[in-house]
Amino acid sequence: MTNNSFSWELFEQVPIVGILRNIAFDDFKEVFEVCKKVGLTNLEITMNTPRVEEMISYAFENSEGLMNVGAGTVCSESDLERALEAGSQFIVTPILSKAVIEKCVELGVAVFPGAYTPTEIYNAWTWGAKVVKVFPATALGPSFIKDLKGPLDQIKLLPTGGVSLDNIQAFKAAGAAGYGIGSQLFNKKLIAENNWKELQNHIEQYILKTQD
């Protein structure tokens, strides 16, 4: 897998985008190994994380072609340039930036732009996004995804924020193409305790929910 080449096969294999934010580098390396061990195939590291470029490079260089490594919280073309130079294979934004989307499309880089309203979601898709991140998905939940998929059934949606073990299958039934999961997936207490075995078990529960 060459730099910036995103595997849709890996995305669909385990359609969870695990989101890491504000994690220490040493903890990151441990969490990364857990992700590889359990077969998490999509990992996003946010651009407002200290040493993010080192983390992206480390993950890309050590993924052995078994994981898509991406950058999140990309809000500008400057962020995008930094992310790609570090080795990001996909880009995630919290907001709708036409400039970032179009630059990614021009470069052939997978981009999951953040959008919320039907108009924003449709615009993101027409500008070239193959998957649109619905953020934040917390308040309206799976029923919102189901409502969106009525008129916008051709658009792949990635609900992010508020996805948990309790509702991930409801999001799946509503038509979600994948799930962006941060602190619910990467339990901060387990990381603080260096309880990597329990973290592995925790992440495996999420993966199993996507396979049912």
- pLDDT tens, position by position, 147-178: 999 999 999 999 999 999 999 999 999 999 99
DSSP string, 83-120: HHHHT-SEEE-SS--HHHHHHHHHHT-EEE-EE-SHHH
Q: Is residue 123 part of a domain?
A: yes
Length of the chain: 212
Where in the sequence is the domain holding 75, given as residue range(s)? 8-207
119-153: b or e for each residue (b if 16 or more CB lie within 10 Å)?
Answer: ebbbbbbebebbbbbbbebeeebbebbeebbeebe
Q: Is residue 75 part of a domain?
A: yes
Name the token pair of 128: 């070239």
Q: Is residue 212 part of a domain?
A: no
Q: What is the model's pLDDT at position 4?
A: 61
CATH number at residue 53: 3.20.20.70
Alpha helices in 22-167 (DSSP H): 25-38, 52-62, 77-86, 98-107, 118-126, 141-149
* pLDDT at residue 2 tops 60: no
Q: Is residue 1 part of a domain?
A: no
Q: Is residue 65 part of a domain?
A: yes
For the chain, percent of residues with pLDDT exceeding 90: 96
Helices and strands (H, E) in the chain, number of each type: 10, 9
Say what the pTM is.
0.96
Q: Is residue 159 part of a domain?
A: yes
| Residue 121, phi then psi, degrees to nearest 5 | -65, -45
Q: What is the model's pLDDT at position 212?
A: 79
**Euclidean distance between CA atoms 180 and 46, whole angstroms:** 12
Asked whether 161 and 135 are in contact (CB, 8 A), the reply is yes
Pairing of strands 16-20, 42-46: parallel
Q: What is the model's pLDDT at position 1?
A: 34
Query: What's the number of domains the chain is made of?
Result: 1
The pLDDT tens digits of the residues spanning 93-136 come to 999 999 999 999 999 999 999 999 999 999 999 999 999 999 99
